[in-house]
Structure 1
Amino acid sequence: MRFLIILFLIFQSNLVNAFEINGEITQGALIIGKEQPGKSIYINKQKIKLSKNGIFVFGINYNQTGNVIIESVDKNNQITSKTYKIKKRQYKIQKIDGLHEKMVTPDQESLEIIKKENDLIKNAQLIDSDFEFFLSGFSRPIDGVISGVYGSQRILNGKPRSPHLGIDFAAPKGTEVKSPADGYVTLAEKSFYFTGGSIILDHGHGVSTIYAHLDEILVRKDELIKKGQVIGKVGATGRATGPHLHFGVNWFDAKIDPELILNK
């Protein structure tokens, strides 16, 4: 609900001289902003998309520190700049035991497969489309209990591994997974090594969502999806100890905390 309120406030604002943003500048945040159309927006010197309605969006990675510098440049090269300090977060530790050893320490052949799959995922998440589906806000993809949180350092079979950069919903196998917003399918794969059955939806301006460990995939690549449409079913495929949905949000390669944008 808070995310929708932020969007409402942005659209109700009347800009005169400077851009506006709504949302806390914290690790894992997705920030929506508004500026007069026709200007150029830069985030830490990286030019980002500004819609014809003057909307822009950017994300803050889970481990990003320092400042976010936003610059708006008009047609006369006049620059308006604001600097925001990124709020650091404390993340939990999550221990998971009972995984097959090859899922914790893959062999060389498996590592080559994983690299190819990771490249496919990365390419799908780097798409910078003109869609503005993210403006509708995001509903929960399923109603399950959250069993794994964003940013937690994972200890797998007693071995430290990469942090968990999404949230897990515990749910029975076969539970329907619904799209939290309109989207365009950029990846639909049945059997990735770590993520199992996987779907990625593009919501525009670099914002994407990923759904992993699915038992069934009910959409195809390059298909337009409506908010609330069933896209797959919960499973335990890939690196999983039981049925659950891994749900992740990206702004390009920045990992966003889904709990900060989901409508409660």
Structure 2
Amino acid sequence: MKRRLPLMVLACCTLSINAMGEERQLTPNTSLSGDFIQGGMLIGKTRLSSTVRLNDVPVKVNGNGVFVLGFGRDASVKQKLTITFEGDSNAVDFELAKRKYRESRVTGISKKITNPNPKNVARAKKDAKEVRAARAIWSNAQHFTQSFIWPAPGRISGVYGSVRYYNGKMGRPHYGVDMASPIGTKVVAPADGVVRLYVPDMFYSGGTLIIDHGMGVSSTFLHLSKGHVKAGDTVKQGDLIAEIGNTGRSTGPHLDWRMNWMNQRIDPQLLVPKR
């Protein structure tokens, strides 16, 4: 049996997770908590042995009945979640808030970066393959339920979703939050996790490090000058992991912090206290 239910707003918390965003009760046994907005991450809780589908695509549920949803920069505002338990399906429609994004202009990028030769194109493709593989690793850990902290100090010099122009030419949107600080400034883990990748010299992103927070949620740190961890290391929130640099496609010392839920790029700034 399949039923479509209206979305109900929860008056008090039932999940002890991230303090950001809001919490909503979708069905008597399923709730979502987080930011109902493009670029947002939602953490769900349902009955054990339930199956979950987002817009008819299966979503993994761990042994505690916890699942995660992530929404990219241009995700549809209309979403449908279907929860099935013992043959009984409930479909719930909900909406994401639509965002307006800034424009930013970056100058001073070298020609070898903006117009790479075939050798560097091949190198960039190899880098991208490594990053995708690291982000695709699945674990049932729930480190993403922590309240995240900022990984570095510094002025916010770039924000998620902004349309970027490099040397006057329109490029891809920016998918991270940038913190401008001197080379050598400490970078710490924003939440617990396992290091899945550290490469000191990727073509576009320079020193690149990825931490797996569990269930497809990961943090990526770009333009690093030095890494203090290696793939396979377990880190705790606040542990030193790297140092800010000016490597790859960068015009000044800063940290570019990005977050993903699998292949969906989400906004890290939604998960940390306002600056």
1:238 offset after TM fit, Å? 0.6
Q: Is the 8 A contact 1:7 1:32 kept in 2?
A: no
Q: CA RMSD in A?
A: 1.9
Deviation per CA, 1:142-196: give whole Å up to 9, x if none: 1211100111111001111001000100001100000001111111000000110
- Partner in structure 1 of residue 228 of structure 2: 218
1:8/1:224 CA distance change after superposition, 3 Å: farther
Q: Is the 8 A contact 1:234 1:245 kept in 2?
A: yes
1:16 offset after TM fit, Å? 7.4
1:130 offset after TM fit, Å? 0.7
Aligned amino acid, residue 43 of structure 2: I
Q: Partners of 1:9 and 1:94 in 2: how far apart?
A: 33
Deviation per CA, 1:43-79: give whole Å up to 9, x if none: 112222222222211100101124221111112x110
- Partner in structure 2 of residue 185 of structure 1: 195
Residues 3-152 of structure 1: pairs in structure 2 closer than 5 A: 4-5=18-19, 17-75=28-86, 77-152=87-162
Match of 1:176 among 182, 186, 192: 186
Deviation per CA, 1:215-260: give whole Å up to 9, x if none: 0011011111111100000000111111100000100111101111
What secondary structure does 2:19 align onto? Answer: helix
Q: Unaligned regions of 5+ residues in structure 1, if any? A: none
1:74/1:191 CA distance change after superposition, 3 Å: same
What secondary structure does 2:122 align onto? Answer: helix
State the TM-score, normalizing by the size of structure 2.
Answer: 0.89
What secondary structure does 1:245 align onto? Answer: strand
Aligned amino acid, residue 108 of structure 2: G
Q: Is the 8 A contact 1:215 1:233 kept in 2?
A: yes
1:6/1:238 CA distance change after superposition, 3 Å: closer
In proportion to residue count, which structure has more strand? 2
Q: Is the 8 A contact 1:27 1:62 kept in 2?
A: yes
Q: What count of residue pairs does the alignment treat as equivalent?
A: 258
What secondary structure does 1:118 align onto? Answer: helix
1:123 offset after TM fit, Å? 1.2
Q: Is the 8 A contact 2:194 2:212 kept in 1?
A: yes
Residue 246 (str. 1) matches residue 260 (str. 2): no
Q: Partners of 2:240 and 2:35 in 1: how far apart?
A: 32
1:38/1:6 CA distance change after superposition, 3 Å: farther
Q: Is the 8 A contact 1:7 1:135 kept in 2?
A: no
Q: Is the 8 A contact 1:187 1:199 kept in 2?
A: yes
Deviation per CA, 1:4-62: give whole Å up to 9, x if none: 3259968xx8x973411123422100011111122111111222222222221110010
Residue 237 (str. 1) matches residue 247 (str. 2): yes
Select between 63-72 and 130-139 the one with higher mean Cα deviation: 63-72
Runs of 4 or more consecutive aligned structure 1 residues displaced over 4 Å after TM superposition: 6-10
What secondary structure does 1:167 align onto? Answer: strand
Deviation per CA, 1:98-119: give whole Å up to 9, x if none: 1101211212221111011001
Q: Is the 8 A contact 1:18 1:80 kept in 2?
A: no
Q: Partners of 1:238 and 1:155 in 2: how far apart?
A: 17
State the TM-score, normalizing by the size of structure 1.
Answer: 0.92
Q: Is the 8 A contact 2:23 2:32 kept in 1?
A: no
Residues 152-163 of structure 1: pairs in structure 2 closer than 5 A: 152-163=162-173
Q: Is the 8 A contact 2:43 2:68 kept in 1?
A: yes
